[in-house]
Amino acid sequence: MLDVSKLEKRWLKYKIKKILPYGLLLTAIVTLGILIPSYLFDNPVTVSPASQKKERMQAKPALAIATVNNEEAMILEPSMNFIESMTPASIPTAEATANPPVISNKSRLIPNVIPAISPIVQEPKIQPPVMPKVQPVVKGKSTSITRDDAAFDIHELEERFKNNSNPNLGLYIARYHYDHGNYTESYNYALKTNAISSTMEESWLIFAKSLVKLGKEDQAKKTLQLYISNSNSQSAKNYLDTLNKEPSR
Amino acid sequence: MEPSLFSKPRDLFIDIVNPKDYVQIDSVSHMYQSLKTSVQKPLKMILLYGRPGTGKSMLLHKLHHDLSKHQKVCMIDIPIIDENDFLRVLAHKIYSYASRESLSLTNFLELSTAVNYPVTPIVLLDEAQLYSPSLMEKIRLISDARALKFVITLHKTDNEDIIAKEHFQTRIWESIELENASYEELKIYIQKKLLKANCFDVANMINDKNIKLITKLTRGNYRESNKLMFALFSLYTWYEEHYPSKIKYNALNTKWIEMAAIHTGLIRA
Ligand SMILES: Nc1ncnc2c1ncn2[C@@H]1O[C@H](COP(=O)(O)OP(=O)(O)O)[C@@H](O)[C@H]1O
Ligand SMILES: [Mg+2]
């Protein structure tokens, strides 16, 4: 039921993405550290009124820095605000000394900078359950799969589902079949589950995904649209977007 | 073939509600106790609400299991949306009154006085957000007439409890909100589940750092945690089969927890 090597690759990608912002941050700091002094001494006039800034920083120090740095990070072009916060030691301006607790502490500054910069590279965030983009395992690829199946009797669950019509169970069976590449079965069970409980997001997604696998992408899109209009489901929206962007996923 | 060490723990986390699998967690047991006490009082309705996956159905099934030894309890875990069906099914289940015709509310109330149980029967309704306002109104009338007591579960959604506001707020005598597990609670949940099934070796593998990560990923939601643990132990069975040397028995593998989270969609990758 699991394509482990594929999952390992996705994990690696995820890790790289996660570390990337920090790498970029480091590069940015180093680059700015080199650029700032020259920039500063070349353009002393462009410095915006210090007092004004000071007020802002005193009122909401952490936030101000975070937003300011965020802007800077986006434009990637050094400005006074950023310079002051990054290099307090090397540039002992009146302002820097006036606000020692806020800007002169490098170690405290870093945590503010990280979340501000990360949006550029779109650090992956934990989200409510999203479409597992896992590919169904190719049958016969590994022996463990068959053995796992034996340990867990799907027919028994199906029997139980017949008796209790529990939507959670229906969904489980649908999911199971989807994971095993039995898309007609997953379609059927998701359909039954939706009929019992129309609010189970995952069941709708499996239903749509099964349709895609069965080559009925248009029908899948229609179903998703219908479901989205009733539920406002973000996962369904995401999946619909993926379908529209890259057909036959 | 040698049985896998991890297939049993894996199957423990299949997402199914069975009162026999109920795990005692302090806060939940506390709620359960107060639920049981409330049910004995002459209350109108009791509402159990919370986000999906916080254990509402589990608590309701547990209540059903425990109460049905002593009194008339009726569990409706799949909502009966049709109003006529609803009364007919109740009449049948509670008063053994079989009828193909639809039953008016007056008929139903007459029936309840005629049968007159010494203790008011309890009806448990799961997934009550699926009931229509007019059916909820009937339910309220029945409970106002003290013909039946109702315990109702309701999903709390982001677009907010419209039904809760309109139909329960003023009328519900007691409401109990279930929440996601804290780190401590999730730890107890996972450990107890494993220990109950004699999976001691696997239970011993799980350290606090593991639980912290799992709580972070699932936000302590029981259903999400079940899914994650299921995927995680599926991975373990796979590695056990293919690369047993990769398995470290002193802790759960952080990378595999993250892989399981990717698989279940908790991490987007
Ligand atoms: N106290 C508990 N003991 C054992 N399992 C629990 C407990 N609470 C929740 N679960 C499990 O967590 C999952 C979600 O719970 P469920 O009752 O279905 O949530 P809800 O009805 O609020 O959506 C189910 O698989 C259920 O078995
Ligand atoms: Mg439920």
CA angle A79, A83, A87 (to 5 degrees): 170
Task: Say how many Å lie between the CA of residue A142 and the centre of ligand 1.
Answer: 32
Smallest CA–CA distance from B267 into chain A, residue? A126
Q: Which three-class secondary structure state does DSSP give residue A107?
A: helix
Tell whether A163 lies on the interface with B, counting CB pairs under 8 A: no
> What residues of chain B lie within 8 A of the CB of A124, using their CB?
267-269
Tell whether A168 lies on the interface with B, counting CB pairs under 8 A: yes
How far, in Å, CA of B55 to CA of B224, rounded?
A: 11
Q: Which three-class secondary structure state does DSSP give residue B127?
A: coil
Give the pLDDT score at B45.
Answer: 84
How far, in Å, CA of B4 to CA of B112, rounded?
A: 54
Q: Which one of B57, B63, B65, B130 would you pick to mutate in the ligand 1 pocket, going by the greatest count of ligand atoms within 8 A of its CB? A: B57
The pLDDT tens digits of the residues spanning B105-121 come to 999 999 999 998 888 99
Partner-chain contact A126 B266, CB within 8 Å: yes
> What residues of chain B lie within 8 A of the CB of A175, using their CB?
none
The pLDDT tens digits of the residues spanning A112-126 come to 333 333 333 333 333
**Counting Cβ atoms within 10 Å, is residue A51 exposed (0-12), middle (13-18) or buried (19+)?**
exposed
Task: Say how many Å lie between the CA of residue B155 and the centre of ligand 2.
Answer: 8
> What residues of chain B lie within 8 A of the CB of A131, using their CB?
265
Q: What is the pLDDT along chain B (269 residues), one digit of tens a residue?
A: 556 899 999 999 999 999 999 998 988 988 999 899 888 887 668 889 899 999 999 999 999 999 999 899 999 999 998 888 999 999 999 999 988 888 899 999 999 999 988 889 999 999 988 888 889 889 988 988 889 999 999 887 655 554 555 555 555 567 888 999 999 999 989 988 988 888 888 888 898 899 999 999 999 999 999 999 999 999 999 999 999 999 998 889 999 999 999 999 999 87
Give the pLDDT score at A31.
Answer: 84
Q: Which helix (H) or strand (E) element contains residue B45?
A: strand B45-50
Please name the residue that has the structure tokens 């029967």. B121
- Who among A2, A130, A169 is closest to B234 (CB)? A2
Partner-chain contact A197 B1, CB within 8 Å: no
What ligand is nearest to the CA atom of residue B194? 1
Domain ranges of chain A: 1-40, 87-245
What ligand is nearest to the CA atom of residue B51? 1
Partner-chain contact B129 A148, CB within 8 Å: no
Partner-chain contact A197 B79, CB within 8 Å: yes
Q: Is the pLDDT of residue A78 over 50?
A: no
How far, in Å, CA of B124 to CA of B75, rounded?
A: 5
Give the pLDDT score at B246.
Answer: 95
How far, in Å, CA of B103 to CA of B86, rounded?
A: 9
Residues with CB under 6 A from ligand 1: B 15-17, 21-23, 25, 28, 50, 52-58, 222-223, 226
How far, in Å, CA of B126 to CA of B238, rounded?
A: 37
Partner-chain contact A166 B239, CB within 8 Å: no
Distances (CA, A) of B242 to A142, A168, B60: 9, 32, 42
Helices (H), chain B: 7-12, 26-40, 56-67, 83-95, 105-115, 133-144, 162-163, 183-196, 200-205, 208-218, 222-242, 254-264
Task: Say how many Å lie between the CA of residue A95 and the centre of ligand 2.
Answer: 58
One-letter amino acid for residue B67 of the chain: L
CATH number of A87-245: 1.25.40.10
More confident call, A55 vs B141: B141
Cβ-based neighbours of B9, under 8 Å, separated by 6 or more: B194, B197, B199, B202, B229, B233
Partner-chain contact A152 B77, CB within 8 Å: no
**Counting Cβ atoms within 10 Å, is residue A56 exposed (0-12), middle (13-18) or buried (19+)?**
middle
- Segment A128-151 shows an average pLDDT of 35
